[in-house]
Amino acid sequence: MSDSREWTPQAIQAEIDALKHKPGALLPILHAIQNRFGFVPEGAVPIIAESLGQTRAEVHGVISFYHHFRTTPPGRHVVQVCRAEACQAVGARSLERHAKARLGIDYHRTTPDREITLEAVYCLGNCACGPSVRVDDRVLGRVTPEAFDALVDELGTQPLEVLG
């Protein structure tokens, strides 16, 4: 993670203050914090709760309800495999098995070298070209296991066995 993405209470408060007067502010605030820092830090929860007049449990409840929100920093790259129906019909399940085996991690985990975080996603708007994968801001279609391996090589991660 670069220093520019390290969070501080002041930076969290600034994101909250920019949005807290809008109706239903909690979700936009969580999105803004994750967009800026890559995740929603545990330390942000009491600040959000106090600013919005909600309990910490309520804020936690929303964070854990939505798969989208991370509570730990992601790796250098985020790889998301589409699990929605159209992609499943053309092989997404076997692709996700392959992705987990290739990276040696489950969803919502990061490779030991901190290069890749693997996540599930539900439709990337690329349904006609599944199985679809998003790598950071890039959406890729018709991703075969071989193409996935090439992608991982391109991203620079090492297979788990060589990590020592």
Q: How far is the CB of 65 from ligand FES (least distance, A)?
A: 22
The response to whether 87 counts as a known ligand-binding position is: yes
Cβ-contact 140, 132 below 8 angstroms: yes
Minimum separation from the CB atom of position 98 to ligand FES (A): 16
Locate 164 and state its tokens.
């020592």
**Applying CB under 6 A, which residues contact ligand FES?**
82, 84, 86-87, 123-127, 130, 132
Contact in structure between 130 and 86 (CB atoms under 8 Å): yes
User: Judged by CB, which is closer to ligand FES: 32, or 82?
Assistant: 82
129 is in an annotated binding site: no
Q: Which residues are annotated as a binding site?
A: 82, 87, 123, 127
Q: Which residues are annotated as a binding site for [2Fe-2S] cluster?
A: 82, 87, 123, 127
